[in-house]
């Protein structure tokens, strides 16, 4: 038996050596691409190429590697490749361990510098003034509030959407050690606490529950004391060097929150893309039907529509629509030209690779 394990471990060591060698060879190639990009003035991140890589590998994968794990492994390899090309700064809605932070790390990996911001407006402004290369903002069904604010800010800003990301809203119980019995106190943000009450009643009925202002504070407390646990977003254990004592401890599972990566670059077509438009219409009967008709007539899939009051006197509503396709597609360009006469204002917020929920 022991010899068997020994033998298998030798084989694993050999495979690890090969993986390490291949990763370094891959990084050296990426470095060469980085030099070429620098010479031609191109940006380091090519979201389209990244999504092509991830889609190709996902379709090649025959298991047992879980597709989500595949995604994480290659996001980190690509992130390491970006890091050898240039250092990158990413602004997100802080503090650490928010779902926005998780969305940012699952998109950019761990080889970039993350810069927490106190508000969505400040994320936009950091990227606009060039202090950060990208920003990550919540946009739909957020647990962190004020997502409508994100849509409003696109009106004022020239930034565009470079990518989207769906982040599951799920909680882990984190602590220094994995024995549930040892936990006497649990720190958590009020939202997290409220969403995990049943689980806490069942598994930690005697623990003292302490509400605090952020998950980052909660995990800080846990990192200080062995008998203290913290509730934080699923997957944050690694960020804080704590153990996940239990996973998915929320009472009801909720749909993933959608996040946007914002930046200055226009993203080229990947073959399966989404285009986000924002337009304002006068409040007259049939205005919306007229504006949407070119989309339907062109057979374009309208993925989402949402409206917001404009807060401008003569304009009544902004509409945000997500269309399947890329701005460079003839059908999308034609539809936009036909919408324009109906709109008081129209802005293309960007085209970016379409991502399935949960990837």
Ligand X SMILES: O=C(O)C(=O)C[C@]1(C(=O)O)C=C[C@@H](O)C=C1
**CB of 42 vs ligand X, minimal distance in Å:** 8
Between 43 and 149, whose beta carbon lies closer to ligand X? 43
Burial class (CB in 10 A: 0-12, 13-18, 19+), 36: exposed
Backbone angles phi, psi at 97, to 5 degrees: 75, 5
**CB of 266 vs ligand X, minimal distance in Å:** 15
Cis peptide before 64 (omega within 30 of 0): yes
**CB of 82 vs ligand X, minimal distance in Å:** 5
Write out the binding residues for ligand X, residues 78-137 only, by CB under 6 A: 78, 81-82
Structure tokens, 177: 């050690």
Decide: is 53 part of the binding site for ligand X (CB under 6 A): yes
Between 33 and 209, whose beta carbon lies closer to ligand X? 33
Number of residues near ligand X (by CB under 6 A): 10
Asked if residues 235 and 103 have their Cβ atoms less than 8 Å apart, the reply is no
Strand 160-169 versus strand 208-212 pairing type: unpaired
Write out the binding residues for ligand X, residues 62-81 only, by CB under 6 A: 78, 81
List the beta bridge partners of residue 164: 260
Give the residue at shortest CB distance from ligand X.
81
Asked if residues 255 and 195 have their Cβ atoms less than 8 Å apart, the reply is no
Between 50 and 322, whose beta carbon lies closer to ligand X? 50
Among 48-56, 94-102, 115-123, 295-303, which window interacts with ligand X (CB under 6 A)? Answer: 48-56
* Interatomic CA distance for residues 295 and 244, integer angstroms: 47
**CB of 264 vs ligand X, minimal distance in Å:** 15
Residues that bind ligand X (CB under 6 A): 30, 33, 45-46, 49-50, 53, 78, 81-82
């Amino acid at each position: 038996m022991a010899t068997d394990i020994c033998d298998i471990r030798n084989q694993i060591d050999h495979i690890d050596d090969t993986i390490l060698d291949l990763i370094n060879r891959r990084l050296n190639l990426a470095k060469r691409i980085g030099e070429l990009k620098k010479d031609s003035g191109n940006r380091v991140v090519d979201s389209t190429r990244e999504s092509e890589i991830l889609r190709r590998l996902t379709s090649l994968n025959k298991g047992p590697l879980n597709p989500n794990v595949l995604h994480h492994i290659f996001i980190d390899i690509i992130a390491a490749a970006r890091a050898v090309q240039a250092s990158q700064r990413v602004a997100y809605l802080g503090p650490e361990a928010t779902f926005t932070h998780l969305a940012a790390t699952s998109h950019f990996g761990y080889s970039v510098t993350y810069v927490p911001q106190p508000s969505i407006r400040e994320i936009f402004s950091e990227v606009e003034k060039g202090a950060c290369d990208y920003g990550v903002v919540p946009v739909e069904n957020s647990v962190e509030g004020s997502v409508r604010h994100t849509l409003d800010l696109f009106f004022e800003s020239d930034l565009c959407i470079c990518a989207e990301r769906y982040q599951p809203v799920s909680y882990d119980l984190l602590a220094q050690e994995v024995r549930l019995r040892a936990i006497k106190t649990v720190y958590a943000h009020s939202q997290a606490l409220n969403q995990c009450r049943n689980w806490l009643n069942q598994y930690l009925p005697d623990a003292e529950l302490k509400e605090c202002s952020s998950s980052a504070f909660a995990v800080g407390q846990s990192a200080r004391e062995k008998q203290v646990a913290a509730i934080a977003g699923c997957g944050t254990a690694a960020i804080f060097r704590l153990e996940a004592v239990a996973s998915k401890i929320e009472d009801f599972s909720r749909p993933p929150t959608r996040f946007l990566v914002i930046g200055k670059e226009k993203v080229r077509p990947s073959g399966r893309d989404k285009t986000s438009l924002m337009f304002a219409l006068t409040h007259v009967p049939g205005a919306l039907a007229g504006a949407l008709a070119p989309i339907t007539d062109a057979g374009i899939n309208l993925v989402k529509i949402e409206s917001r009051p404009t807060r401008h006197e003569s304009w009544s509503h902004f509409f945000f629509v997500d269309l399947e396709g890329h701005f460079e597609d003839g059908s999308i360009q034609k539809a936009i030209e036909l919408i324009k006469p109906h709109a008081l204002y129209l802005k293309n917020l960007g085209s970016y690779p379409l991502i399935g929920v949960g990837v």
